[in-house]
Amino acid sequence: MHWWFPSNASSVGGQVDSLFYVILYITGAVFVLVEAALLVFLVRYRRRDGRRATYVEGSTKAEIIWTTIPAVILVSLALFSQPLWSKIKNTDTYPANADRIGVEAKQFEWRFTYPGPDGKLGTDDDFMKKDELHLVVNRDYVFELTSRDVVHDFFIPAFRIKQDAVPGMTIRVWVRPTVPGTYELACAELCGLGHYRMRAQVIVQTDSAYAAWLQSQGVAASSAPAPAATPTASEGTP
């Protein structure tokens, strides 16, 4: 039974998980302490005959203590989060030599445009593959994420990466897969009738396996766009 994070397969996933655990331990400790205090008070100060509540209006000292401590902890959490965020999402810091792949989201499929043998996007030898993303392990990728219709979200749980695809915008997403395997890409923003089945496979392979796959594709074979995914009758009629 697997009831926790999917195992991490990207260069940044480990750091995201660590940050999650830091917050989990801090909030977990606060949770236990505060709820325990609440329970102790409920038992200890329950109504009993012959005992009156003590008239206390407050304490400035206590207020200062319980304002300062959470403030310090919380602001340090923000400071602690910032470098990782900047590393993942700040496009200025992305590796310059990263491979580029075009990712276009549309109802209800993912279209990946590979640069072809010349290694450049936007040239004649580009080819398109639907719902199948092939990556080489330990190589940097920058996806150029677009949407043709509505807002979608590019979510690869095993990579801990999530980014909305917004029509009218090109958003760059950096990823470095570190473990070979087959993972799932999900749409994580409600995008219409077929949102739930807008998934793709992410295949992370070795350099040689990738080269063999590239060979098997034959540039001409898959450059024709696939037909649009239309909703089926059972999903409800527009």
Partner 1 sequence: MTAHATAASHAAHDDRPFIRKYVFSTDHKTIGIQFLFLSLFFLLVGGLLAMGIRWQLGFPGQPMPLGGWLPQSVAPGGVVAPKTYNSLVTMHGTFMIFFAVMPLLVGVFANYLIPLKIGAPDMAFPRLNMWSFWLMIPSGGLMLASLFVLGGSSAAGWTVYAPLSGTPDYSGVHLGQQLWCVSIVIFGLSSLLGSVNYITTVINLRAPGMHWFRLPLSVWALFITAVLAILAVPILAGAVIMLLFDQTIGTHFFQPDVGGQPLMWQHLFWFFGHPEVYILILPAMGIASDIIANGARKPIFGYSSMVYAMIAIAFLGFIVWGHHMFQSGMNPTLASTFMVSTIVIAVPSAIKVFNWLGTLWRGSIHFTTPMLNALAFVAMFIIGGLSGIFMASTPVDMYIHGTYFIVAHIHYVLFGGSLFAVFAGIYFWYPKMFGRRMSERWGKVHFVLTFVFYNLTFFPMHILGVGGEMRRIYDPTVYDFLRPLQPINVFITVNAFLLGLSQLVFAVNFIGSLFKGEKAERNPWHDTGLEWTTASPPPHGNFPETPHVYHGPYEYSVPGMAEDFLPVNTPPAKEVA
x/- track of binding to partner 1 for residues 184-213 (CB under 8 A): x-xxxxxxxxxxxx-x--------------
Residue 25 binds to partner 1 (criterion: CB under 8 A): no
* Burial status of residue 101 (CB atoms within 10 A of its CB: 0-12, 13-18, 19 or more): buried
Pick the stretch among 20-28, 113-121, 134-142, 210-218 that binds partner 1 (CB under 8 A): 20-28
Shortest CB 85 distance to partner 1, Å: 4
Q: Which residue's CB is nearer to partner 1, number 180 or number 194?
A: 194
Shortest CB 101 distance to partner 1, Å: 18
Shortest CB 180 distance to partner 1, Å: 17
Question: Do you know the residue count of the chain?
Answer: 238
Q: Shortest CA distance to 221 belongs to which of 119, 114, 148? A: 114
Residue 104 binds to partner 1 (criterion: CB under 8 A): no
Q: How many CB atoms lie within 10 A of CB 137?
A: 17
Helix (H), strand (E) at residue 204? strand 199-205
* Burial status of residue 187 (CB atoms within 10 A of its CB: 0-12, 13-18, 19 or more): buried
- Residue 28, token pair as written in the block: 């977990």
Q: Which residue's CB is nearer to partner 1, number 1 or number 221?
A: 1
Pick the stretch among 18-26, 120-128, 130-138, 207-215 that binds partner 1 (CB under 8 A): 18-26
Alpha carbon separation from 195 to 108, 163, 213, 229, 230 (Å, rounded): 6, 16, 29, 11, 12
- Residue 83, token pair as written in the block: 């470098």
- Select from 67, 123, 206, 230 the one that contacts partner 1 (CB under 8 A): 67
Residue 42 binds to partner 1 (criterion: CB under 8 A): yes
Residue 35 binds to partner 1 (criterion: CB under 8 A): yes
**What whole-number distance in Å separates Cα of residue 156 and Cα of residue 110?**
13
Residue 110 binds to partner 1 (criterion: CB under 8 A): no
Q: Which residue's CB is nearer to partner 1, number 101 or number 127?
A: 101
Cβ–Cβ under 8 Å, residues 141 and 98: yes
Q: Shortest CA distance to 163 belongs to which of 175, 173, 178, 149? A: 173
x/- track of binding to partner 1 for residues 160-179 (CB under 8 A): xxxxx-xxxx-x--------
Q: Which residue's CB is nearer to partner 1, number 15 or number 217?
A: 15
Shortest CB 179 distance to partner 1, Å: 14
Q: How far is CA 97 from the centre of its chain?
A: 23
- Select from 14, 25, 82, 118 the one that contacts partner 1 (CB under 8 A): 82
Q: Which residue's CB is nearer to partner 1, number 113 or number 146?
A: 146
